[in-house]
Amino acid sequence: MLDKIKSRLRKKEIEKIIYDAEVQSGYANISVEEIYERVNKYLNWPELEDIIEDIRSGMKKSEVYEPYLSYEAITIIRNAEDKSLPVYRILEELKNISEAIEKAKSKLTQMIIMPIFTFIATVILADYVLHKIATTLLATKLIKAPLYLPFLMKFFIPINFLFLGLFIFFVVIKPDHTPIVKNIFKELEGVRILNTTRLFYMANIPIEDIILYVEETSKGSIKKAFSSVDTDLEGFLEALGSILRLTEIASLESAFYTGKFRDTLFSLAERKLRELGVFVESVAATANIAALGLIVIPLILLIIPYFQMAFELINKVSSFLMNAGG
């Protein structure tokens, strides 16, 4: 298990090194192998040594880098090799896009995880308080336990975890079934697909390959939309309706008929990437409401029997005092 984690971390580090080396090689006009050699003097990683040897032996970079880079990066490099295109600027853009999307996903993941941990802590505490209060009040022998109390005390944690399971199902596993989560998912996918399309255009990758890429890397309604259209520009524009707002689709349609589709697509992709951070921050309010909604469930289940028994005890004490006073 530990070896797998180390291997995964090493792979991520090599991915960063490859991106940086290719970009620096392009800007400084020096061989990428030389950069790898200098880096590996400090790291002494066998993986980097293999990369250097494979490149020098004449192996294509798309094949050498395949174990370490994303589908998008390999597609761009492979196409650039076939057409003798410089790719360092495109790879630099791809790295920036990937980092921005990963950062956004990380923040959104934290927004989901925090309510879950808060909910679990609240449930455990509420279960303890429920048992403590019930035991204390029932020990007075002045009140009878509500008929549902033994059941609630026994199944308090399972009931709450059932609600937690539903939350995870609709938010994490099946986001397409939850309107708010679906919109968040669509926004992220919109940023990824539009910006990857922009880079594929820069690398002269044909539209049919772009549609195939989106189909293979998407899921749910988005995958369905891209798999059911014609593999041409009109089909691509039609499929974009599954991830973009109506105004965005309208502007792309207008650009398509006026011959400005590429420029409009590039502009829209760059704008959505710039606004990604603002979008994530706006989602924080929704996450806070979700956290509150989750925490309310165990508190309500705790308060109902507590107040019922407390009111019964107060009535008994009041009746006793009135009778004693009379």
113-164 pLDDT tens trace = 888 888 899 899 989 988 887 787 777 666 777 778 888 888 889 999 998 8
Residue 149 token pair: 């109390």
Question: What pLDDT does residue 132 have?
Answer: 84
Residue 100: φ, ψ to 5°: -65, -45
Inter-axis angle of helices 276-325 and 179-202, nearest 10 = 170
pLDDT for 326 beyond 60: no
Burial class of residue 235 (count of CB atoms within 10 Å of its CB; 0-12, 13-18, 19+) = middle
Dist CA 205 CA 177 (whole Å): 34
> Taking 90 as the threshold, does the pLDDT of residue 311 lie above it?
no
Q: Token digits for 121?
A: 């802590």
CA distances from 230 to 135, 225, 244 (A): 68, 10, 19
Q: Of 58-67, 114-123, 169-178, 191-200, which range is least confident?
A: 169-178
Report pLDDT for 40.
93
- CA 77 to chain centroid, in Å, comes to 26
The answer on pLDDT for 314 being more than 90 is no
Q: In this prediction, what percent of the chain has a pLDDT beyond 70?
A: 97
Tokens of 296: 């309310």
How confident is the model at residue 48, as a pLDDT? 94
- The single-letter code of the amino acid at 51 is I
| Encoded amino acid at 295, one letter | I
Which burial class, exposed, middle or buried, applies to 257 when counting CB atoms under 10 A from its CB (0-12, 13-18, 19+)?
exposed
Q: Which of 160-164, 239-243, 284-288, 291-295 has the lowest mean pLDDT?
A: 284-288
Average pLDDT, the chain: 86
Give residue 66's pLDDT band: very low, low, confident or very high (50, 70, 90). Answer: very high
DSSP 194: H
Residue 195 CA: distances (Å) to CA of 88, 93, 297, 301: 16, 9, 41, 47
Q: Is 165 exposed, middle or buried (0-12, 13-18, 19+ CB in 10 A)?
A: exposed
The proportion of the chain whose per-residue pLDDT surpasses 90, expressed as a percent, equals 32
Which pLDDT band holds residue 196 (cuts at 50, 70, 90)?
very high
> Which one is predicted more confidently, 246 or 145?
246
- Rounded to whole angstroms, how far apart are CA atoms 214 and 198? 13
Token pair for 78? 């492979």
pLDDT in tens, 28-45: 889 999 999 999 999 999
Helix segments in the chain, DSSP class H:
2-28, 32-43, 46-56, 61-64, 71-83, 88-139, 149-168, 179-202, 207-217, 220-227, 233-239, 246-258, 261-274, 276-325
Residue 55 makes CB contacts below 8 A (sequence gap 6+) with: 32, 33, 61, 64
CA 310 to the chain's CA centroid: 45
pLDDT surpasses 70 at 20: yes
* CA nearest neighbour of 104 among 180, 185, 171, 174: 185
| SS3 category, 240 | helix
